[in-house]
Amino acid sequence: MLLTVLNFAGVAVFAASGALIGVRKRLDIFGVWTVAALTGLGGGVVRDVLLGESPPTAFESWESLTVVAVAALTVFIFHPQFAAFRRAVLVLDAFGVALFSASGALMAVHVGTSAVAATLIGITTALGGGVLRDILVNEVPLLIQGGNLQAIPALSGAGVTVLLSESSVGEDWALVAGTVLAFGFRVVAVWRNLNAPYAPDNVVNSLAMSLRRRWQNRDRGSRLRLRRR
């Protein structure tokens, strides 16, 4: 029961984030609804396609569709007010990612996939909606643009859930632990502005240069020593 309510909360947050981007892109009300639906339900649909569940559970549930519609309409009307809640939206989004990574992974475990596959499917469930949203509005996905470690929380949440679900802890606590860990990770990453490293310009050149410098220094050192004699 609690899981169902939390799940709708996750869908609502994701749908609202999609609707907000739709409004910013100056789409009409159907465009905004489409982006909201794809963002809110896309991760779950991709999960079901990968797990061979057909039709996807999101399609069978008028409740999720209603949640998406209400979220999209709310943002459509009150979008300027959402700017004031930027921090709250970030926290809610972190919660959505955390919950979906854990619940997606658990669903894969139920279907009987390997631990590796379940972890990957959890990550896909959590991040798939956002990637589809960004592809639809023709932007480079925020996920690969980086910024505050979006992938790490989803990975840790899904991984811990899978590991614990196969232990004696039980699935419920596995879900809670995975969600809390992923949520904490993301909140800390946003709070401390943590970022993943970028590709170094030229490791080989840098190495070669530092070796040459060391060599020259040794050389100079030996020359200096020669003079001193």
Site for a copy of itself in 38-57 (CB under 8 A): 45, 49-52, 54-56
Which residue, chain included where needed, has tokens 């926290």? 91
Please give the distance of CA 149 from its chain centroid, rounded to a whole number: 8
Residue 162, CA atoms < 13 Å, CB-side half-sphere:
26
Site for a copy of itself in 176-195 (CB under 8 A): 195
Q: Tell me how far apart the alpha carbons of residues 120 and 116 are, in angstroms, rounded to a whole number.
A: 6
What is the three-class DSSP state of 100?
helix
From 23-31, 92-100, 156-164, 167-175, span contacting a copy of itself (CB under 8 A): 23-31
Counting residues that bind a copy of itself (by CB under 8 A) gives 67
To 5 degrees, how large is the angle CA 8–CA 13–CA 19?
Answer: 120
Site for a copy of itself in 195-214 (CB under 8 A): 195-205
User: Cβ 156 to a copy of itself, closest distance in Å?
Assistant: 12
32: left (phi over 0), alpha (psi -120 to 50) or beta: alpha
Choose which of 11, 12, 13, 32 interacts with a copy of itself (CB under 8 A): 32
The yes or no reply on residue 70 touching a copy of itself (CB under 8 A) is no
Binding site for a copy of itself (CB under 8 A): 22-23, 25-35, 45, 49-52, 54-56, 59-62, 65, 76-81, 108, 111, 113-114, 116-117, 120-121, 131, 135-141, 143-146, 149-152, 195-205
